[in-house]
Amino acid sequence: MEYTRLGRTGLKVSRLCLGTMNFGPHTSEADSFKIMDRALDLGINFFDTANVYGWKKGEGVTEQIIGRWLAQDKSRRDKIVLATKVYGVMGDGPNDRGLSAYHIRKACEDSLRRLQTDHIDLYQMHHIDRETPWEEIWQAMEVLVQQGKVLYVGSSNFAGWHIAQAQAEAAKRNFMGLVSEQSLYNLAARSIELEVIPACQAYGLGLIPWSPLAGGMLAGALQKAAEGRRASERIQQQVEKHREQLEKYEALCRELGEKPADVALAWLLHNPAVTAPIIGPRTIEQLEGSLRALEIKLSDEVLAKLDEIWPGPGGPAPEAYAW
């Protein structure tokens, strides 16, 4: 396994991040335990979850599964960098969501209880809260850091200007602010190259791409469809929308002798702004298969072909659309 620093911090994380969104809804608790065990064996030390995962309002199903796994062997906690998120709806009350100091405090306590730990290594804001001032958000996060309940703070689904705004306000308070941003990023979704990636690089944030395989579309969707495997209606629609591109993409992958999913991950890992793509395996086989991406080196010629098939916005702003 390869490791890299999380943004401008001294913290070392694996180049692949174990996403746990499938734990509970699609992967049984027993199989989730096996996947986490195997991830540790493979050297993956970066685990990502969220209080809303499990999709049963207020229950934090996935966090509970991770907590029970951690409780089985107390030594596991010190072997992983544990990341979770706050923002989503966790109850029926008006303050059971968002980034108010009130909700941040309660959500953190609830996550700690479910995860059966005394601290969260990376506490991420799952979305921007346009109704809560930064002075309130940062004060709440500062308290959690001072109490030792949170070590680092990250964002998710922020625009570039949100990152700039957050860091400017944190600097006023002599607070470290954000150390990472978790964004939708893959070959078929490259809009963050305009503003978000430049912001991350300018402010020293690690970039953690979610949905690196575009929900499975970049994992050989055409081949799987031909073999009769079922896919969700949403993926079927995406496949039809991008069929011409997918035909060229999967043909290029066959030419390279690599699986489409591995090439998609390798493309992300090639970007120096990327810390660790989030892989969300449902099975141990999917987990182990992801490691091949670490070994693939894409030539300039192949990267140029990928740009032709999956064109980005043209680079960072404003050069992408102005002189």
Residue 270: which of 250, 310, 300, 298 has the closest Cα? 298
pLDDT at 222: 86
Average pLDDT, the chain: 95
- Whether residue 53 lies in the annotated active site: yes
Nearest alpha-carbon partner for 203 in 258, 161, 241, 242? 161
- Tokens at 314, concatenated: 């043209």
The reported pLDDT for the residue numbered 225 is 60
Domain spans in the chain, listed from the N-terminal domain onward: 3-309
Give exposure, 126-139, as e/b (b: 16+ Cβ within 10 Å): bbbbeebebeebbe
DSSP state of 220: T
Contact (Cβ atoms closer than 8 angstroms) between residue 96 and residue 103: yes
Contacts for 279 with CB less than 8 Å, ≥ 6 apart: 16, 17, 18, 19, 212, 265, 286, 287, 290
Given the residues 53, 87, 123, 203, the one annotated as active site: 53
Mean pLDDT, range 154-177, rounded to an integer:
98
* pLDDT at res. 212: 97
For residue 307, pLDDT beyond 80: yes
What percent of the chain is predicted at pLDDT more than 70?
Answer: 98
| E strand spans, the chain | 3-5, 12-14, 17-19, 46-48, 81-86, 120-125, 150-156, 178-184, 206-210, 278-279
DSSP of 115-166, one letter per residue?
Answer: HT-S-EEEEEESS--TTS-HHHHHHHHHHHHHTTSEEEEEEES--HHHHHHH
Q: How confident is the model at residue 288 (pLDDT cuts 50, 70, 90)?
A: very high
Predicted pLDDT of residue 239: 86
Mean pLDDT, to the nearest integer, of 202-227?
Answer: 88
pLDDT at 52 over 60: yes
Superfamily of domain 3-309: NADP-dependent oxidoreductase domain (3.20.20.100)
- Tell me the pLDDT band of 227, cut-offs 50, 70 and 90: low
Q: Is the pLDDT of residue 228 over 50?
A: no
Q: Write the pLDDT tens digit of every residue in 139-161.
A: 999 999 999 999 999 999 999 99
Q: What's the predicted TM-score (pTM) here? A: 0.93
How confident is residue 93, by pLDDT bands cut at 50, 70 and 90?
Answer: very high
Whether the predicted pLDDT of 247 surpasses 60: yes
Q: State the CB neighbour count (10 A cutoff) for residue 151.
A: 17
Predicted local distance difference test score (pLDDT) of residue 232: 67
pLDDT mean over 200-217: 96
**Cα–Cα distance, 83 to 67 (Å, whole number):** 13
The string of pLDDT tens digits covering residues 54-78 is 988 989 999 999 999 999 999 999 9
